[in-house]
């Protein structure tokens, strides 16, 4: 204790002593007080990549770097080739649906086909610019995007998964220059995947920071404990991989086939063959409350997340609604424009339509057993009903479901009026048909449908959609967990689980008839004895 205090005091004094010199010597416009120099944590790796002769060369492209990596890591690309990060494809073993980014249509950016160059900025590969991409080529695997530790490696939309090889202005016409990474330095600095690597894509899903998930955004780079007890740097300082414990480049944890239910007590525990390490139970077991057995009792039917992530979008607002049907409006000069909401978040963008962002959102709660069905492009839809992009299955009686918090994301997107199917449209491209260049839906849809070789009736309209997302990140400190009364709310209040079917909630769902009859009998008993007593008093007086 004491020595720690002494050290920090010395460090503070050193900082104070050095500041004036630092400020004089270096008039850079950075912060005036230099933080006391922290020794870089000693790496536990047995290899210093900067000493490898394979990496002592100036690389001209990503694939060149990959070839150098593969000289030693002979199996790495083959492993990556099997992963969802590479295939963007997932065959759901339960529903047999062919899913993955390559196949599904969601209600954010909708679909990949015809927009590869843009979307594949988040592919762990190089060169996926059209449907002819070579998935078997080992040098097309991008090692750096996950293993860069310098923070200088960045892939930009429009380059088909390549980083910029020359400095370029991005976003276009913004005046901001993104520097081409020094591939040699990046290659020599590779290391274990950190949260900044995962975050480069996963924090920005849906086309921007915090847009898609609500529980996964750039604030996780350096969250306070209030935001994430596991990832706070002054706390446990977990990387993403601490839970998504990866072997052979296969990252566990999937929202296509999530682990949600309660198949047997204490399933999902680390070290067991059948376990998914990316669950709360894998570390905490399903009976983690030491002080209060009653809370463990709740864990049988209630996902940990329900109480321990009482709100999402707690650091940054997340997008809750995206209406594509209004996209394409132009101002009086014929130019696309953007509007902000009163809080300063995008409310309209000619490219994308109307949005709604929300902060500190109370999740919806549903029974969920891990089975998810998707509406595929081929699925015939009923355009008069809100279309479920995905359906989370579960019920109070299947013995396998728990009550989960979800983000329900709603929107509107085009569908084929002739075939009652969702449409693939061309958002981005250096051609005349892309919605974002031309703001013409007809052309964009025709191009997109031609790209996937599917029939299009020629008539489109917009269908209302909703999509469910499990809330599972950004676990709050236990002092912020839901209190009993937030579900077992007093009469007149609102209980968090009021809308969840099939549960009896003590304190909330008492049988009204029982109350009327029960209190009635108690009242009659009281009246009876009072009457009896009064009569006794009366007759006693008369008797005397």
Q: Which residues bind other proteins (CB under 8 A)?
A: 262, 265, 294, 296-300, 399, 483-485, 488, 490-491, 503-504, 506-511, 514-515, 517-519, 521-522, 525-526, 528-529, 532-533, 535-536, 539-540, 543
The residues, ordered by sequence, that sit 6+ positions from 204 with a Cβ below 8 Å of its Cβ are 211, 217, 218
Eight-state DSSP code of residue 384:
T
Query: Using CA atoms, how far apart are residues 544 and 541, in angstroms rounded to an integer?
Result: 5
Residue 44 or 479 with smaller CB distance to other proteins: 479
Least separation, in Å, of the C-beta of 174 and other proteins? 53
Least separation, in Å, of the C-beta of 298 and other proteins? 7
Residue 138 or 296 with smaller CB distance to other proteins: 296
Least separation, in Å, of the C-beta of 261 and other proteins? 11
Extended beta strands in 351-428, E state:
353-358, 364-368, 372-374, 387-388, 390-392, 402-416, 421-422
Least separation, in Å, of the C-beta of 94 and other proteins? 21
CB-count burial class (<10 Å; 0-12, 13-18, 19+) for 519: exposed
Task: Copy the structure tokens of residue 468.
Answer: 């469910």
**To the nearest 10°, the Cα dihedral for 104, 157, 246, 82?**
60
Query: Using CA atoms, how far apart are residues 18 and 12, in angstroms rounded to an integer?
Result: 10
Residue 106 or 286 with smaller CB distance to other proteins: 286
The residues, ordered by sequence, that sit 6+ positions from 145 with a Cβ below 8 Å of its Cβ are 124, 153, 155, 197, 200
Least separation, in Å, of the C-beta of 217 and other proteins? 33
Least separation, in Å, of the C-beta of 487 and other proteins? 9
Beta-bridge partner residues of 406 = 470
Least separation, in Å, of the C-beta of 292 and other proteins? 8
Least separation, in Å, of the C-beta of 202 and other proteins? 34
Residue 184 or 488 with smaller CB distance to other proteins: 488
Backbone angles phi, psi at 28, to 5 degrees: -65, 145
Residue 172 or 490 with smaller CB distance to other proteins: 490
Query: Using CA atoms, how far apart are residues 34 and 29, in angstroms rounded to an integer?
Result: 12
Residue 270 or 532 with smaller CB distance to other proteins: 532
Residue 130 or 263 with smaller CB distance to other proteins: 263
Least separation, in Å, of the C-beta of 485 and other proteins? 5
The neighbour count for residue 218, using CB atoms within 10 Å, is 19
Beta-bridge partner residues of 83 = none
Eight-state DSSP code of residue 474:
S
Residue 278 or 482 with smaller CB distance to other proteins: 482
CA distance to 321, 418, 488, per residue, from 304 (Å): 27, 45, 17
Residue 458 or 518 with smaller CB distance to other proteins: 518
Least separation, in Å, of the C-beta of 332 and other proteins? 59
Task: Copy the structure tokens of residue 395.
Answer: 């019920």
| Alpha helices (H) in 411-511, listed in sequence order | 435-438, 441-452, 484-487
95, 263 contact by CB (below 8 A): no
Residue 192 or 264 with smaller CB distance to other proteins: 264
């Amino acid at each position: 204790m004491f020595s720690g205090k002494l050290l920090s005091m010395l460090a503070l004094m050193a900082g104070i002593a050095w500041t004036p010199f630092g400020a004089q010597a270096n008039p850079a416009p950075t912060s005036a007080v230099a933080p006391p120099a922290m020794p870089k944590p000693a790496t536990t790796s047995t290899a210093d990549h900067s000493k490898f002769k394979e990496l002592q060369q100036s690389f001209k492209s990503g694939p060149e770097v990959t070839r150098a990596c593969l000289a030693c890591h002979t199996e790495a690309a083959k492993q990556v080739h099997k992963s969802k990060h590479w295939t963007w494809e997932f065959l759901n073993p339960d529903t047999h649906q062919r899913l993955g980014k390559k196949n599904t249509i969601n209600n954010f950016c909708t679909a990949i086909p015809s927009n590869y160059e843009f979307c594949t900025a988040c592919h762990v590969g190089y060169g996926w610019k059209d449907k002819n991409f070579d998935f078997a080529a080992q040098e097309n695997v991008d090692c750096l995007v996950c293993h860069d530790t310098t923070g200088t490696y960045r892939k930009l939309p429009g380059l088909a998964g390549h980083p910029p090889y020359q400095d370029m202005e991005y976003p276009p016409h913004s005046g901001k220059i993104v520097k081409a990474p020094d591939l040699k330095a990046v290659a020599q600095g590779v290391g274990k995947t950190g949260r900044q690597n995962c975050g480069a894509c996963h924090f920005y899903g849906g086309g921007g920071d915090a847009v898609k998930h609500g529980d996964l955004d750039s604030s996780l780079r350096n969250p306070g404990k209030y935001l994430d007890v596991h990832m706070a740097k002054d706390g446990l300082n977990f990387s993403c991989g601490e839970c998504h414990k990866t072997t052979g480049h296969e990252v566990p944890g999937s929202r296509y086939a999530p682990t949600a239910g309660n198949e047997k007590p204490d399933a999902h525990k680390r070290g067991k063959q059948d376990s998914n390490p990316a669950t709360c139970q894998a570390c905490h077991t399903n009976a983690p409350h030491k002080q209060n057995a009653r809370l463990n009792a709740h864990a049988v039917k209630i996902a940990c997340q329900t109480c321990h992530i009482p709100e999402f979008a707690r650091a940054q607002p997340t997008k809750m609604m995206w209406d594509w049907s209004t996209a394409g409006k132009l101002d009086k000069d014929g130019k696309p424009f953007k509007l902000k909401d009163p809080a300063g978040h995008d409310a309209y963008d000619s490219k994308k339509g109307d949005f709604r962002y929300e902060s500190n959102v109370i999740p919806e709660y549903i029974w969920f057993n891990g089975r998810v069905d998707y509406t595929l492009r081929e699925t015939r839809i009923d355009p008069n009903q809100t279309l479920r992009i995905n359906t989370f299955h579960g019920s109070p009686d299947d013995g396998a479901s728990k009550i989960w918090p979800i983000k329900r994301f709603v929107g509107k997107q085009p569908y084929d009026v002739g075939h009652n199917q969702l449409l693939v449209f061309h958002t981005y491209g250096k051609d005349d048909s892309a919605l974002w260049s031309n703001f013409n839906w007809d052309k964009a849809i025709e191009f997109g449908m031609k790209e996937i070789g599917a029939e299009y009736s020629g008539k489109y309209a917009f269908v209302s959609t909703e999509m469910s997302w499990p809330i599972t990140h950004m676990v709050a400190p236990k002092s912020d967990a839901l209190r009993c009364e937030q579900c077992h709310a007093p009469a007149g209040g609102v209980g968090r689980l009021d809308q969840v079917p099939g549960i009896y909630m003590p304190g909330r769902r008492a049988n009204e008839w029982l109350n009327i009859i029960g209190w009635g009998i108690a009242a009659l008993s009281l009246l009876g004895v009072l009457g009896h007593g009064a009569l006794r008093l009366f007759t006693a007086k008369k008797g005397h």
